[in-house]
Amino acid sequence: MKKRTAAALIAAIIALSGCSDFFEDEKPKEVSTGEVTHTQSPTDTDTSAAEALSRIELPPAAAYYLKEEDAKTVSACKAIYDAMANSRSSVDLSGLDVMRDDVDPMIMLLVSACPRLGCVSESYSYTVSDGGRVKTLTINYTADAEEIAKMDEELMQAAQEIVAQGEGLTPEERAQLYHDSLVLGCEYSDESPNCYSAYGCLVEGKAVCEGYSKAFLLLCELGDIDCLTVLGDTLEESGSTPHMWNKLNLGGEWYNVDVTWDDPISNIEGGYLRYDYYNITDEELLRDHSFDDSGFIRSPEALGTACNYFSANGLLITETDAAAEIMTDAIADTVSKGGTITEVKAADGDVYSWVCEQILSGDDPAIFDILDDAAEQSGTAFVTDSYTVLKNQSQNTIAIMTSFP
């Protein structure tokens, strides 16, 4: 038996959420007008204003979250969105029964679910009547109207270039294309002032979770795929951190997609594509995430499994007896295409533990036989006496990194 000169190595991976609460440090400035409101009959002006609001079309994700809300709430959100989309500072909310406690959730919804609103500032103010109803909302921006328009043009150009690559593909294939494009085209960074926006992700190539998720939302909207942004927290040993990711609908079923956590900071040169958090169920996601279903953002339950990357590509190990064959076939397919990283997933914790103990552990682990078999099956010469293993126990995924001579 030939000597195995290198044992399995563990590559360090740090998956960061890096998102801050949009309103964590900023509090709205409230200006009371001291006026008393009176109930009045609708005027011609009121009617024309209502008609104008009815013609405003909200982006799909915002419209989804508001579909169960009353007409005045929807109208108020439309009025605020229209102002934001056109870089206007003042929004007249009189007559729409917007209470001061409604403003935060409305703005949170719009800046989260409308991916082109990347220059809305964290600070804003409003005037209220004695009854607590908001009369006028004043929005601040991080750039002037001309600069915002220029950035939006650049954003849409970058997004449409990616979407154009998906023409003729199925929705499932398009969604994976968008996921892969962001993982490969963006790096996790909070150093850019635009890192919380789709612009930071798609144009500058630097973003945190908000930027990733808003960019994915924009691509899905342009690619005619139902998609939402989701708010919550990531759960790690160091504690919880505010986070944003996506849910998308494929084939009538909802899935979670966390592009940020599929693009971890690692010690692997050039990074790599992984699918640990691509099209997974709520049950799987909740192992290291939690939902914040508050305000207007209450996401649908994600139960879909058919479009999970590992299930759809024959990379899901459901029985221990099939583990070696699945891993051999997968590695052979990877190296035959010139790739170096093969990822499989165990269906549950027991199967995952068995693979780690019976295939990846020991003085002469079975993985070396699998590598030899994969080389023979593929007819490809690659290094079979050393490898690197990347493990994600919370999602039961195992990636085998090989190399070529």
Burial bucket for residue 267 (CB in 10 Å: 0-12, 13-18, 19+): exposed
- Kindly list the distances between the CA atom of residue 322 and the CA atoms of 309, 327, 349, 391, in Å, as whole numbers in the listed order: 18, 9, 16, 19
**In contact, 291 and 230? CB cutoff 8 Å:** yes
- Kindly list the distances between the CA atom of residue 73 and the CA atoms of 27, 46, 53, 93, in Å, as whole numbers in the listed order: 22, 16, 11, 10
pTM of the model: 0.89
- What stretch of H or E contains 214? helix 209-222
- Kindly list the distances between the CA atom of residue 2 and the CA atoms of 83, 267, 335, 365, 368, in Å, as whole numbers in the listed order: 71, 30, 22, 13, 11
User: For 23-167, where are the E strands, in sequence order?
Assistant: 29-32, 90-92, 120-128, 134-141
pLDDT in tens, 346-386: 999 999 999 999 999 988 899 999 999 999 999 999 999 99
Helix, coil or strand: residue 91: strand
Average pLDDT along the chain, 405 residues, taken 10 residues at a time:
39 45 42 34 55 90 97 96 97 93 96 97 91 94 97 98 98 98 95 96 97 98 98 90 97 98 73 91 97 91 97 97 97 95 97 97 93 96 94 96 94
**In contact, 217 and 61? CB cutoff 8 Å:** yes
